[in-house]
A and B are shown apart, each in its own frame.
Chain A
């Protein structure tokens, strides 16, 4: 499809394990965002990539969280040594550029046991 694709759609893991979440943005979209959404809540900004510029990591909640975007396309969000409070839906969005409408994927629902 032509939309933003995220995988896996669901992930259940034990506390202390590392997880990697993937986002395939819409082709040609230079901006990519990661958000976290706790149950029934709004979206919490995590990180922003724009082209080849240095990413804005100001929303990452701790140094256990990291993200990269390879070749200006696919992005991975990695959470090391997961904690129960990391349980949430992780959403990825892409846009044509800064301040352009965002297109969201359906998210990865992460559950930490």
Chain B
């Protein structure tokens, strides 16, 4: 069974700080998605990465896909309270029709 591990589980930082969260798989990804979920809401897709070594930027968020396509990172620059939420990575293993989600990183940015 393919597993997605996210670290850290919890992160509490001050506004303006930088942070990186990680997603690691037990095997090679076909593609990877990052979602953010705010309390009381469903997850919202942030980005999809497909190619090994790929880097995508979304304002202050930088997403990187590892060269071997077994890991990914999300870096947030100058975090703001609005970045608070549960960050989930998800992948779609080859030959299946269902997504596997990581356990998430719960981020809290203090004003």
User: B41: nearest residue on chain A (CB-CB)?
Assistant: A106
A1: Cβ under 8 A from any B Cβ? no
Q: Which residues of B contact A58 (CB under 8 A)?
A: 98
Interface of A is mostly: loop
CB contact between B43 and one of A45, A59, A98, A104 (< 8 Å): that residue: A104
Q: Is A43 an interface residue (CB 8 A)?
A: yes
Interface size range on B against A: 20 to 34
Partner of A107, one of B42, B48, B99: B42
Contact B98 A99 (CB under 8 A): no
Asked if B44 is at the interface of the complex by the 8 Å CB criterion, the answer is yes
Docked-complex contact B104 and A41, CB < 8 angstroms: yes
Would you give the shortest CB distance from A94 to chain B, in whole angstroms?
Answer: 11
Number of interface residues of A (CB under 8 A): 25
> Quick one: given A43-B88, A99-B92, are A106 and B42 in contact (CB under 8 Å)?
yes
Give every chain A residue within 8 A of B7 (Cβ-Cβ). none
Residue from B6, B48, B101 within 8 A of A101 (CB atoms): B48
State which residues 84-105 of B face A: CB under 8 Å. Answer: 86, 88, 90, 92, 97-104
Which residues from chain A sit less than 8 Å from chain B, CB to CB?
4, 33, 35, 40-45, 48, 50, 56, 58-59, 91, 93, 98-99, 101-107
B contact set with A: CB distance below 8 Å: 6, 31, 33, 40-45, 48, 86, 88, 90, 92, 97-104, 106
